[in-house]
Structures are given as structure tokens and as C-alpha cells.
Amino acid sequence: MRIYNTMSREKEELESMHPGQVRIYVCGPTVYNFIHVGNARPLCVFDTMRRYLTYTGMDVLFVSNVTDIDDKLINKAKDQGVSVQEVARTFEKEYLRDADGLNVLRPTVMPRATEHIDEIIALIRDIVDKGFGYQSENGDVYFRAKKFPEYGKLSHLVLEELENNRELSAGLDGGLKEDAADFAVWKAAKPDEPAWDSPWGKGRPGWHIECSAMAKKHLGATFDIHAGGQDLIFPHHENEIAQSECANGQTFARYWMHNGFLNIDDRKMSKSLGNFFTVRQIAEEMGYEPIRYFMLSAHYRSPLNFTMDILKQCQASLERLYTCRENLDFALENAGETGNSDLLTKAEEHEARFREKMDDDLNTADALAAVFDLVRDINTLAAETDRQALQKTAEIFDALCEVLGLLYNRKSEEIPVEITELAQQRTKARQEKNWALADELRDQLDNQGYVVEDTPAGPKISKK
């Protein structure tokens, strides 16, 4: 598989460090509120990456954290008169409810920052011991960005540009920092805020150091893929690299993947701009699955514009997938040993194209097109296909949907045995041209809430 590496700005062949296993770290949410539709993009995209790697036979170690301490959480807790932990645990649950709804697999490990304070302190200690960190008068500990010669290598910004960067306009933090590019790894305790003991006094970790420490603990000092939204490239990921590579003396992540923005009226959907819909709001109206479909309908690095109309189109496309799956079930129930296997040949071609597209930097948009080509062929050829070929085609269809994480709301519309028996008696009556009995059996089925339809492939029973 080739993936676009933000570091090299090129598509590169993905070669994992450990044979047969890929290790991925995806920056998770700060759990102070419901997630919005923009936040659902990295969730769905990198879950699909994980599913695809699994489908190709790789074992995936997937770590995605939860930031459960920071200014936003502290402010929310103050506003609501509850503890920071209470806010964090409440919204962590809501986040997981949405992630489950979107059919995002739970991470192999979901570390919480507040449960890794020892690892964070150990990393800061290494940074300070090696001369990359210093404590300011107020007790904060900062990272000396300019001391790391490669600072800026991910965002491709040079330090002079960085100094003019909006993100750094906070300047010298009232004289606490030696240089505007420096950033906090440890923040001295303020009254009424959660704080932990450390060699630098009571305080709490900075945001960037959390990910450096948790990735190291769960994936090792060097691992395969680090991912997140494009807005994390600078400063978050740049700072993670500086901290980790200076402390550990080795490459941090080998591949960097970033999803493009989900926009609304051509502007990034964000909490701060106020132009957002929560995933929950949309799911209550349309269900979760169209949101997931929508995220996969474009290439993950392209901008994606959100409207309710597009979401409705996604819902309609999903309906086509569900209908096709029902058609497959029905054809399977009625398939015989005779028939041809043209459909299977086509299905294998579509699967090969699906893989080719996914191998090309996770092109889910074109992979979906391959699935719809398969849908078209199933709908036209299923009735003339033999049972074995149909069975294999169904397996291919299900496997591709599983990779995309779609079609997870299939109703298990089990037809009770007595209903199937009634329908079979009716078919027999019809074959014997006993129309009166056939009609009576149809009425019986009708009274029990089932309709039977005579199709070229045989009788089709469904609930009214």
C-alpha cells in the first residue's frame, strides 16, 4: 500500500517496522463536549485505514488517546460547578457512543492523559536533562524549539516563518519563555485546578507532551503511522516530534497522515467559529451511517463540504447497497446448482480494483465506485448465477462493506419456519394447478403479516 506522507510530501510504500503488524497512533479528542461532524472525519477515515490493513492480513495495533485535562475542560468544570474528571468521563462516554454509532472500532488501547502522568514526567525529565527544556520563574517548563535543528520539518516551515506565525503570536508569554517558538511541556499549578506532583513542583502536563508520552508507552519510541486532522500538523505534531526525537534520540513516527478539513460554506467546521453540527444532532435526524458514508465518499486529503442535501444523497446510496444485499439473500435462497459463474468473475475484478484504489493512498471514493459496479452486476446477474458462485460473490460484497465499515444496520428479518413452510405448500399447490388452495395459503400468509411475490427466481417472502 502507498500512502502520502506529510513529512516527505510524497506517496511512499508502507513498510511496517514489525513484520505483519502496523502500529498506528491517532490523536483523539479533548473530551469537554459532544464531538462535531468535523471530528468524525479522522474517526471514520483512520478506522477505515485500520480495517483495510486488517483485511490485507496485517495485525493492527491502534492507539487513540483521550485528552482529559486541559484549559477547555477546566473552564467547563468551573462553569458547571463539577470536577474536571466528571466533565471528562461524561464526554468520553458520549464520544464513545458516537464512535460506536459510526461503527468505528474501539482502539486497541485508548490511553487517558491523566493516567500517564508518570510517563509524561519521565519524558520531560529526559528533555530537561538533555538541555532541551528549562523551567521559568513561575514554575512552567518549556521546550527550547530552536535547539532542535529539525524543528519545522513536518510543517515545512522555517523558523523565521514560524516566528511570524499566528500560532506563535502569544510571544514570550509575559517574559516566561526564552524564545517565542518555545512551548510548554509542564504548566505550573494554578489555584483550584487539578495538579500533580513533579520534580518542577505541582502542575499539569501540556497538550503536546501527552501524545509523545502515550505513543511511546503503547507503541514504542519509533512506530509506523501517526495520524490526525490537518490542523494538527502545526503546532501539535511538530511539537510532538521535537519532544520525542530530542528525548529518545530516534525517529518518532515514520509516516504522517492528515485528513483534510470538513467545511461548511467553505470554512472549516469548528467549535471556535460556531459553525458546527454535533454528530449526535445529525444522527438523531438521519442515523449515523450516512455520516460515515459521507466521510468515505471523498478522498481523505481533499476538503469536504457538508450539507444536509449531500447527506440525504448518501442515505439514498446506502439504500442501494442494502437493497443489493437483500437481492443477494433472495437469490441465494432460490439458487440452484445450475447457472453460470459470470457474476463471480466480475466480482473478483471489482474486488481487485477496490484493492488497487485503497492501495493508492486510501482512495475510498474510487473504492466505493468499485463497490457500486459490483452492485450493478449483482442486480443484473444474480438470478442466473449458480449457488456456489453466488455464495462467493456475497462473501466478496460483505468483505468490501466490512472494510468500509458500512452496511452495519442490516435488519435480521428472519422469516419464521412455519411461514416458509406455508409458502412452500403454496408453491406446490401452484405447480399442481390447485389455484384455490394456493389462494387460501396466500390469505393465510397475509393474515400473519407476510406477502409472497412470484418472481422469475421463485417466490419471495417479505414482511408487510
Residues forming the site for ligand AMP (CB under 6 A): 27, 29-30, 38-39, 41-42, 228-229, 231-232, 259, 261-262, 268-270
Measured from the CB of residue 345, what is the shortest distance to ligand AMP in angstroms? 40
Quote the distance between the C-alpha of residue 456 and its chain's center.
Answer: 42
Of 278 and 385, the one with the shorter C-beta distance to ligand AMP is 278
The DSSP secondary-structure symbol of 202 reads: S
417-to-9, 332, 414, 422 alpha-carbon distances in Å: 59, 17, 9, 9
Q: Which residue has the CB atom at the shortest distance from ligand AMP?
A: 229
Task: Identify which range of 26-34, 181-189, 380-388, 418-426 contacts Zn ion by CB under 5 A.
Answer: 26-34
Which residues, 150 to 169, sit near Zn ion by CB under 5 A? none
Task: Identify which range of 23-31, 336-344, 366-374, 453-461 contacts Zn ion by CB under 5 A.
Answer: 23-31
Of 76 and 350, the one with the shorter C-beta distance to ligand AMP is 76
Which of ligand AMP, Zn ion, none is residue 269 near (CB under 5 to 8 Å by kind)? ligand AMP
Measured from the CB of residue 264, what is the shortest distance to ligand AMP in angstroms? 8
Q: How many residues bind Zn ion (CB under 5 A)?
A: 2
Which of Zn ion, ligand AMP, none is residue 385 near (CB under 5 to 8 Å by kind)? none
Q: Which amino acid is at 323?
A: T
* Measured distance CA(334)–CA(392) in Å, rounded: 15
In angstroms, how far apart are the furthest CA atoms of the chain? 98
Measured from the CB of residue 8, what is the shortest distance to Zn ion in angstroms? 20
Of 48 and 259, the one with the shorter C-beta distance to ligand AMP is 259
433-to-73, 291, 440 alpha-carbon distances in Å: 74, 51, 13
413: helix, coil or strand? coil
* Measured distance CA(75)–CA(54) in Å, rounded: 40
* Measured distance CA(246)–CA(248) in Å, rounded: 6
What does the H/E/C string look like for 301-343? CCCEECCHHHHHHHHHHHHHHHHHHHHHHHHHHHCCCCCECHH
The backbone torsions φ and ψ at residue 33, rounded to the nearest 5 degrees and listed phi first, read: -165, 175
406: helix, coil or strand? coil
- At which residue does the C-alpha cell 437469490 appear? 331
Of 22 and 27, the one with the shorter C-beta distance to Zn ion is 27
211 binds Zn ion (CB under 5 A): yes
First to last CA, the chain: 46
Measured from the CB of residue 268, what is the shortest distance to ligand AMP in angstroms? 4
Which of ligand AMP, Zn ion, none is residue 38 near (CB under 5 to 8 Å by kind)? ligand AMP
Measured from the CB of residue 27, what is the shortest distance to Zn ion in angstroms? 3
Of 211 and 390, the one with the shorter C-beta distance to Zn ion is 211
Of 268 and 460, the one with the shorter C-beta distance to ligand AMP is 268
Of 211 and 423, the one with the shorter C-beta distance to Zn ion is 211
| Contact indicator for 261, 268 with CB cutoff of 8 Å | yes
* Measured distance CA(22)–CA(57) in Å, rounded: 11
* One of 3, 27, 257, 262 touching Zn ion (CB under 5 A): 27
Measured from the CB of residue 211, what is the shortest distance to Zn ion in angstroms? 3
Which of Zn ion, ligand AMP, none is residue 211 near (CB under 5 to 8 Å by kind)? Zn ion
Which residues on neighbouring strands pair with residue 451, listed in sequence order?
Answer: 462
Of 96 and 176, the one with the shorter C-beta distance to ligand AMP is 96
Of 41 and 217, the one with the shorter C-beta distance to ligand AMP is 41
The residue among 110, 296, 301 whose CA lies nearest residue 215 is 110
Which residues, 356 to 395, sit near Zn ion by CB under 5 A? none
What sign does the dihedral 310-379-335-447 (CA atoms) show? positive
Helix, strand and coil in the chain, % to nearest 5: 50, 15, 30
Of 232 and 362, the one with the shorter C-beta distance to ligand AMP is 232
Measured from the CB of residue 453, what is the shortest distance to Zn ion in angstroms? 55
Measured from the CB of residue 42, what is the shortest distance to ligand AMP in angstroms? 4
Measured from the CB of residue 11, what is the shortest distance to ligand AMP in angstroms? 21
Residue 202 falls in which region: left (phi positive, over 0), alpha (psi -120 to 50) or beta: beta
Measured from the CB of residue 261, what is the shortest distance to ligand AMP in angstroms? 4
Which of ligand AMP, Zn ion, none is residue 261 near (CB under 5 to 8 Å by kind)? ligand AMP
Which of ligand AMP, Zn ion, none is residue 6 near (CB under 5 to 8 Å by kind)? none
Which of Zn ion, ligand AMP, none is residue 30 near (CB under 5 to 8 Å by kind)? ligand AMP
The backbone torsions φ and ψ at residue 11, rounded to the nearest 5 degrees and listed phi first, read: -80, 130
Of 187 and 460, the one with the shorter C-beta distance to Zn ion is 187
Would you say how long the chain is, in residues? 464
* Measured distance CA(126)–CA(282) in Å, rounded: 45
Which residues, 408 to 427, sit near Zn ion by CB under 5 A? none
The DSSP secondary-structure symbol of 234 reads: I
- At which residue does the C-alpha cell 510571544 appear? 171
Which of Zn ion, ligand AMP, none is residue 398 near (CB under 5 to 8 Å by kind)? none
Which stretches of the chain bind Zn ion, using CB under 5 A? 27, 211
